[in-house]
């Protein structure tokens, strides 16, 4: 049964997952894990990543998904992806609130992600870049994160929703309260600005 599940397409895995198939849920999470890590790393910000590793945050999101799988209603691959990343956003909001409200110092502060390899981090960012930029990504991971952090918040949001969450322009427009045309323009300008910063000499 496990072998057959490994060969299933995403739509079939999602359908099995909604029926409570734990192996299918696990396979789905494995498929989306690189993108989830990249999303969390880019969206969490330095304050949170100084206290918790991206790997720990991703594992926590996956636990939430597993524990609440019965609440998911079938919406195909896009529905599962949206639910996963919405869970991730909720997790980030919860952790920010925890540290702000309690003013906790999480003990020793650690690197942004001491567990992830360069290949894992680059894989998480793969939806953001053209093939020619992937080679650069391996050598200049820090520049990628710095460049992204310099984008205005709305530009970060539209890139993450379009490239990492894979939302449609219609869905992004609804989330951002903009027209689809405005979203297309914003996304185009945001990606161009990110590419410009990455191509610039350090």
Taking only the tens place, the pLDDT of each residue in 68-121 is 877 776 667 778 888 888 899 999 989 888 887 766 554 444 444 544 554 555
Residue 123 near residue 144 (C-beta atoms within 8 A): no
Q: For residues 116 and 112, what is the distance between their CA atoms, to the nearest angstrom?
A: 9
Q: Output the six-digit token pair for 180.
A: 């689809």
Between 145 and 152, the more confident residue is: 152
Q: What percent of the chain has pLDDT over 70?
A: 74
pLDDT of residue 6: 43
| Residue 138 pLDDT greater than 60, yes or no | no
How many Cα atoms are found within 13 Å in the side-chain-facing hemisphere of 48? Answer: 20
From the list 149, 161, 173, 174, the residue with the least C-alpha distance to 41 is 149
Between 3 and 44, the more confident residue is: 44
Q: For residues 145 and 104, what is the distance between their CA atoms, to the nearest angstrom?
A: 26
Q: For residues 144 and 89, what is the distance between their CA atoms, to the nearest angstrom?
A: 21
pLDDT of residue 47: 79
Q: Tell me the CATH class for 1-116.
A: mainly alpha
Q: Output the six-digit token pair for 62.
A: 């996956």
- What's the pTM? 0.69
Alpha helices in 45-130 (DSSP H): 46-49, 54-67, 76-102, 118-125
Q: For residues 109 and 98, what is the distance between their CA atoms, to the nearest angstrom?
A: 16
Q: Helix-strand-coil percent breakdown of the chain, rounded to 5?
A: 75, 0, 25
The domain 127-202: what is its CATH number? Answer: 1.10.10.10
Q: For residues 127 and 142, what is the distance between their CA atoms, to the nearest angstrom?
A: 17
pLDDT of residue 186: 97
Question: What's the whole-number mean pLDDT along residues 150-171?
Answer: 90
Q: Is 9 left (phi over 0), alpha (psi -120 to 50) or beta?
A: beta
Between 157 and 140, the more confident residue is: 157
Q: Where are the domains of the chain?
A: 1-116, 127-202
Q: For residues 17 and 2, what is the distance between their CA atoms, to the nearest angstrom?
A: 13
């Amino acid at each position: 049964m496990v072998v057959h599940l490994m060969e299933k397409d995403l739509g079939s895995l999602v359908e099995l997952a909604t029926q409570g198939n734990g192996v299918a849920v696990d396979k789905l999470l494995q498929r989306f894990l690189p993108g989830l890590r990249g999303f969390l790393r880019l969206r969490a910000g330095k304050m949170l990543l100084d206290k918790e590793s991206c790997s720990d945050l991703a594992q926590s999101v996956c636990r939430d998904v597993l524990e609440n799988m019965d609440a998911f209603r079938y919406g195909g691959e896009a529905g599962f992806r949206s639910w996963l990343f919405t869970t991730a956003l909720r997790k980030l909001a919860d952790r920010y609130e925890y540290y702000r409200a309690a003013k906790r110092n999480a003990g020793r502060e650690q690197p942004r992600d001491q567990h992830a390899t360069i290949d894992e981090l680059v894989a998480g960012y793969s939806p953001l870049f053209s093939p020619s930029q992937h080679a650069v990504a391996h050598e200049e991971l820090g520049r990628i994160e710095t460049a992204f952090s310099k984008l205005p918040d709305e530009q970060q949001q539209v890139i993450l929703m379009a490239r990492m969450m894979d939302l449609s322009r219609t869905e992004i427009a609804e989330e951002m309260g903009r027209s689809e045309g405005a979203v297309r323009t914003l996304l185009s300008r945001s990606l161009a600005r990110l590419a410009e910063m990455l191509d610039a000499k350090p």
